[in-house]
Structure 1
């Protein structure tokens, strides 16, 4: 994979044939899940990808079938599932992560986080598999301290428009904790901060994809509030490496682990960087802040550094260049298809 040479991570070693694993990735056709599936196949594992395709796309995983070790199954994790044969590891990435998409059907979002977690935990218990929950920095809500360590309990509105996602993820963490405590299940919890990169959907609704698509199409860049709220942006290759290291960590590491880039940028700074990297002449336009929009978001990754020997290595500008090139190709291809139809 290109990042093994370019970005300098000491990647986890490949598996020998005698240690070949079967790994299930729920939400594997999504932005993050497809990159994870790709890396797991690269290390020599057999991968079973589950996705209901509500936000995931077959285009993200079409190239993976060539390996002969990749299986796709369309399935919604809120329904019980049966997998024949052994399963060694389970990654639960099954849930929309962008506010416009998880707010579209808040009941299903909440069910995905809770019922989906329980169904996958039951599968892990039946298979004797270790299991990782993709939680989120949203469990910290609109934080009162910065950076946010895993010990911070958060400032979350339980009845706001983001609650279906925030509270669903918090409940999923509780389920993972209890399954580990009561049944001895080997559980891992990753609290993921803002992640970006190729294969994000053009209509994803998160700030990086919004700004890039708006800049490339010559539209105004919509900045909410004055753009003084801060975010920390982690390139997808870095994040996938962190997930895999957490899954491979010692059994006694059960506490949540922050995974994200501690580099902190205001939203306005991000907009200006995107304009510079794209060469766009788009303007910045200020709109009202959404309800419960966090003012500050920055991970304390001391635990990840200590326990996983992990920290992100991809600079924001470099990661944005890869992401911009991806969106540029997607938009050009879409324009060609529309021209052919007309």
Structure 2
């Protein structure tokens, strides 16, 4: 099925933070976009500006249930990525990752579509090596409170590669590292949105542990470009491929950046480190450089400024 010579693209989780940006970019490229979402952790406001586009269609559906569509490409992003949401219903989180992958893979087999899995840096757990390359198998607690997400995504990767071997399916597996930007939910518990919202409200910035743990933050526009370049790459390039920004920063350094850019006089409050919280995140993106000619271009300061401005408007500050 084609639309004016362009592709029909399904984005599961398309009304989420990352999915909504991806849907918008695919429309800019001239494709017809089917946005599938059950709105468990997403918002219709994220895609409100897309609803009047004749090449955009919203489908309210849960990926744990099969669906019959005619598409050329599938981006499987459906799964809550915030600990607040995925720990709220851990059984459903695992079902979304595993059953969702099976249903989307079956759809890809039936339609002959190529399919991209939005995997995660949580594949690596609390890593013993840094930076994390795709050859590292990870250090994950299989029975902890984060396991529903970590192990669900690991099982999804297994399914993708088994479908490739068994059905000769064209797959792409992207391991996404911490991503931030406009349309993040203000209460989703992720550190960038937490710090920005707390700073704008004049509240203490909550740092878990001593603040020495690190993350590497990629602005959403860079990440979306990476996903699309990966999908459009040669069939032999299937991954897994890390997508993220290798610029590493401690949580204390991040508080200083947010406070300076927001002009806030908030203080920092230290709380106990959550169970199984990784101490370090830094992607090795040499494979993305080599295979996709991709690297992030938006600096942390530039991205934070855009994200702070978004929250100022969204929260009326």
> With structure 1 as the length reference, what TM-score do the two structures score?
0.91
Distance 2:238 2:244 in 1: 18
Structure 1 match to 2:300: 316
Residue 54 of structure 2 is aligned to residue 64 of structure 1:
no
Quote how far apart the aligned CAs of 1:62 are.
Answer: 1.1
Structure 2 match to 1:246: 230
Structure 2 match to 1:31: 17
Contact 2:3 2:32 in 1 (8 A): no
Root mean square deviation of aligned Cα: 1.1
Residue 238 of structure 2 is aligned to residue 260 of structure 1:
no
Structure 1 match to 2:280: 296
Residue 169 of structure 2 is aligned to residue 185 of structure 1:
yes
Distance 2:161 2:239 in 1: 8
Trace 1:135-174 onto structure 2 (pairs within 5 A).
Answer: 135-174=119-158
Structure 1 match to 2:59: 73
Distance 1:175 1:17 in 2: 30
Distance 1:329 1:198 in 2: 10
Quote how far apart the aligned CAs of 1:18 are.
Answer: 5.5
Distance 1:17 1:285 in 2: 53
Distance 1:233 1:111 in 2: 28
Quote how far apart the aligned CAs of 1:287 are.
Answer: 0.4
Quote how far apart the aligned CAs of 1:17 are.
Answer: 7.3
Structure 2 match to 1:110: 94
Distance 1:42 1:67 in 2: 11
Structure 1 match to 2:103: 119
Q: Give the 3-state SS of the residue equivalent to 1:332 in structure 2.
A: coil
Structure 2 unmatched ranges of 5 or more: none
Trace 1:191-230 onto structure 2 (pairs within 5 A).
Answer: 191-230=175-214
Contact 2:3 2:31 in 1 (8 A): no
Quote how far apart the aligned CAs of 1:42 are.
Answer: 0.2
Structure 1 unmatched ranges of 5 or more: 1-15, 334-342
Residue 265 of structure 2 is aligned to residue 277 of structure 1:
no
Q: Give the 3-state SS of the residue equivalent to 1:274 in structure 2.
A: helix
| Residues 2-40 of structure 1, C-alpha deviations (whole Å, 9 max, x = no match) | xxxxxxxxxxxxxx9763100000000000000000000
Distance 1:287 1:42 in 2: 43
> With structure 2 as the length reference, what TM-score do the two structures score?
0.98
Distance 2:68 2:35 in 1: 13
| Residues 235-260 of structure 1, C-alpha deviations (whole Å, 9 max, x = no match) | 00000000001101111112200000
Over 3 Å off, 4+ runs: 16-19
